[in-house]
Structure 1
Amino acid sequence: MLCATASVDLPSASSAQGYVARLLINEAPFPGERGYVSEADTQAAMEAILLTLHARSVDLPKPYTREQVADTQSPNILDVITAGGVRGQVDGFYRDPQGNLATEPRVNERVNYLMGIAGQGKPGRFARLLNHAITISNQYFAGQLRVVDRYGNLTYIGTTPVTGGSYAWMTNHPKFHPRGYFVKIPDGNQGALGGNRFFTLKRID
């Protein structure tokens, strides 16, 4: 179903564009929420999450395999998102028993709440943030995304050689870390965005 306000047109949740847009909206903070810093910070977080999903789907550095990093052999970004079920790769985003794209009720409730705020009065921050998620999702599936990978040129974090790029994100808290070969991107490299912490991979020569 298409969700719309006077200033925001959110594609159907059953479409690839609408599904990914909802993920970006759900994973990034809005004004008044924990982790919110600024409009630019939330937009940057959305972009970094989308590029992380892309990297996990099609841009894995050797010798890493997709199954190691994303728990699936599929290069389809939707399969990467839904791998592992409800509590899998992206919490709350999964496929139902029939294979349809699905989200937990809390995701839809939050999106509807934000859409409701965005529809009140003149378009403001809420509408701009929602539209940013929609725009970059649409651009991605149209092959027209023009977002610079802020982590793409990383070669070392401290003394640890890294591949560059981001391959995971988690809530920005010291206790959360994907472990294994993932390396935390520090604040000095913009590793914390929108209440999230991003991780690159250790380079294995």
Structure 2
Amino acid sequence: MSCRWARAAAAAAGLWVAAAAAGAEPFAALEAASTAPGYLARLLINETPFPGERGYVSEEDTKAAMLSILWVLHSRLNHIPEGYSQEQIAAIRTRNVIELITAENQCAGFHRGADGQPAADARVEERIGNLLGIANGGGTPGRFARLLTFGQGLASAYLKGGIPGADRFAGLERVERVAVTGRAYSWMTGRDCYHPGGNFIGIPDGDQGLLGGNRFFTLRKDPR
């Protein structure tokens, strides 16, 4: 985070606290982290860039990244390709998206606390607080408020039974000369040094595989 961005975040957070104390309606709000919709929303928001951060391109790009991350989670729960097990892809066997997120070494910053409940690292909550401060610190709702509201809406809609948007990778059949399963099953920071290994295949830029600063990965159709 740049010093300029940090100063802006701190100033906006102060305005948000003042507005909240005055009883003003916030432009953006998240459900409590202790709830499934609030916890899932924090993952979608934490994994994608906001204005001024590395990897940010546009609102639509960040929204597309949130949606694609949600599809990764959904596919890990419901669309395990032939030749693979859920444990191989997601390090757990479950039908619950929160258990999927908190599986060991799966989503950095998200885990089970000492009490066994879903928890997030302090840095995650600090960033969420800064984003909310900026979103609610101006006179009118802007990009930050729209992105936070989108992330929470996406999480809430999913847990009520659906994803409001298509899986852009569902029909993918080949990456270069390699036959693939279609759908994305992992995402990582979009740099060449990051790769989940094994049978994961990076989806190229030409297939919209880089969204919100994240590279998305499908699977080799014939596992090695």
- Residue pair 2:63, 2:150 contacting (<8 A) in 1 also: yes
- Asked whether 1:95 is paired with 2:112, we answer yes
In the superposition, the TM-score normalised over structure 2's length comes to 0.86
Q: What does the per-residue CA deviation read over 1:57-101, in whole Å, with 9 as the maximum and x for residues that have no partner?
A: 2221112101000000112111111111xxx10001001122101
Q: C-alpha separation between the residues in 2 aligned to 1:73 and 1:118?
A: 37
1:126 pairs, out of 138, 144, 148, with: 144
Letter paired with 1:111: I
Question: Take 2:101 and 2:67, find their aligned partners in 1: how far apart are those partners?
Answer: 15
Task: Indicate yes or no: 2:25 matched with 1:17.
Answer: no
Higher relative contact order (CA 8 A, sep 6+): 2
Cα-Cα RMSD: 1.2
Query: Quick one: percent identity of the two aligned structures?
Result: 49
Residue number among 97, 100, 104 corresponding to 2:121 in the alignment: 104
> Paired residue for 1:191, among 187, 205, 209?
209
Instruction: Compute the displacement of 1:179 (Å).
Output: 1.0
Conservation of the 8 A alpha-carbon contact between 2:29 and 2:132:
no
SS in structure 2 at match of 1:94: strand
Cα deviation, residue 167, structure 1: 0.2
Q: Structure 2 unaligned segments of length 5 or more: list them.
A: 1-19
Structure 2 counterparts to residues 62-101 of structure 1, below 5 A: 62-84=82-104, 88-101=105-118
Deviations 1:45-68 (A, max 9, x none): 000001101111222111210100
CA shift, 1:146, in A, is 2.1
Moved more, 152-161 or 139-148: 139-148
1:161 maps to what in 2?
179
Deviation at 1:174, TM superposition (A): 0.4
Is 1:60 the counterpart of 2:77 in the alignment? no
How many residue pairs get aligned? The number is 199
CA shift at 1:14, angstroms?
0.7
Q: Which has the larger radius of gyration?
A: 2
Q: Which runs of 4+ in 1 moved over 3 A?
A: none
Q: Report the residue type matching 2:117 in the other structure.
A: N
CA distance in 2, matches of 1:144, 1:81: 18
**Letter of the 1:58 counterpart:** N
